[in-house]
Amino acid sequence: MIEPERVFGQLKNNRGFRRFLLRGLPKVTLEVGWLSLAHNLLKQATTDRKRKRASVQ
């Protein structure tokens, strides 16, 4: 199940994203891509960190 509202809530509340910095659809699309990439990398890092801690114990 995919919950996109959770991702947007985390971007707005935790990352402080309130508005787009660029104008125009191609630039906004690029900005959303960067935000998505950052969100996914942070999520992957958290998962890796938890997995590493579990294997050490």
* φ, ψ dihedrals at 20, nearest 5°: -75, 145
Question: CA 11 to CA 15: how far, in whole Å?
Answer: 5
What the block records as the tokens of 50 is: 């938890």
Q: What is the pLDDT of residue 26?
A: 97
Taking the alpha carbons of 16, 22, 23, 26 in that order, is the dihedral positive or negative?
negative
Share of the chain above pLDDT 90, in %: 58
pTM of the predicted structure, to 2 decimals: 0.74
The larger pLDDT score, comparing residue 9 to residue 51, is at 51
